[in-house]
Structure 1
Amino acid sequence: MEQRISFVTLAVSDLDATRRFYVAGLGWRPELDVPGEVLMFRTGEHLVLSLWDRAHFAAEVGEPTMPTGGGLAPITIAHNLATKEAVDIVLSIARRAGADPVVDAVERDWGGYTGYFADPDGYRWEIAYNPSPIGDLVLP
């Protein structure tokens, strides 16, 4: 098997709220939008973020084990940027889009600068500046 990821799929409880947040709030353009079912965004050269209505997700994959609204999903999605200033700008955009909570960026022990925001289902996005070779690897 090749070492790559093609899709990251997250189950969402309210696809309309998810659409408003990502499309109207963050300004993303969907590659596929099937109302009531799925919303897909190209997020890399060969990577798609798929936000799937929870019922449709459960019908194909199985019932999610994390209860809605009960704690944090044990996953983060990272969006890396080339500067600390860009991190602050993206966190401001997320705040204006209605992200809750938004955790302001801070200097990290490992040398980076990161903050977080939550989408309408509570999935945490890490907005990061990572001044290391692995950080450079993920920048466009």
Structure 2
Amino acid sequence: MDQRISFITLAVRDLERTHAFYVDGLGWTPELFVPGEVLMIRTGEHLVLSLWAEAGFEAEVGPVRRGEGIVPITIAHNVRTEDEVDAVLEVARAAGADPVTAAERRDWGGYTGYFADPDGFRWEIAVNPSPIGELVLPD
């Protein structure tokens, strides 16, 4: 098996609200949008973020776990500078992200902050000064 990820699929409660957040708010370009079903956004050379209406997700994958707390996953968007971290967090705030946490320097040497999309999925906006951090940045 090749060592790669092709799609990250997230089940969302309100696809139109999700579309408004990612496309209208963050300014991302959809590759595919089927109202009421799925929104797909290319997020890397060979990576697609698939935002799937919860009913269709459950029909194919199985029941979604519900309850208190934060979904146990984060999605990271790495940038080169601390100013870029702050700028992306501000774009997310303007798009309606809630909550948005201010970035801070972390014990491991990075600078990160978080925002939540309309379904509560947490996005980490980060500068990671290590070699692995450089690996994930575009040329």
Provide the C-alpha distance between the structure 2 equivalents of 1:6 and 1:66, rounded to a whole number of angstroms. 26
In the TM superposition, structure 1's runs of 4+ consecutive aligned residues that sit over 4 Å from their partners are: none
Q: Does 1:11 align with 2:11?
A: yes
Q: Tell me the amino acid that sits aligned with residue 29 of structure 2.
A: R
Confirm or deny that 1:119 pairs with 2:117. yes
TM superposition shift of 1:66: 2.9
Aligned-partner SS, 2:30 = coil
Mapped contact 1:84–1:129 kept (Cα < 8 A): yes
The equivalent of 1:132 in structure 2 is 130
Q: Aligned partners of 1:66, 1:76: CA distance in 2, in Å?
A: 17
What count of residue pairs does the alignment treat as equivalent? 138
Gap runs ≥5 in structure 2: none
In the alignment, is the contact (CA less than 8 A) between 1:15 and 1:37 conserved in 2? yes
- Unaligned segments of structure 1, at least 5 residues: none
Letter matched to residue 65 of structure 1: R
The corresponding residue for 1:94 is 92
- Normalised by the length of structure 1, the TM-score is 0.97
Cα RMSD after superposing both structures: 0.6
Partners of 1:33 and 1:91 lie apart in 2 by 25
- Equivalent positions of 1:1-140 (< 5 A) are 1-67=1-67, 70-140=68-138
Q: Do the aligned partners of 1:77 and 1:124 also contact (CA within 8 Å) in 2?
A: yes
Contact 1:66–1:73 (CA under 8 A) maintained in structure 2 = no
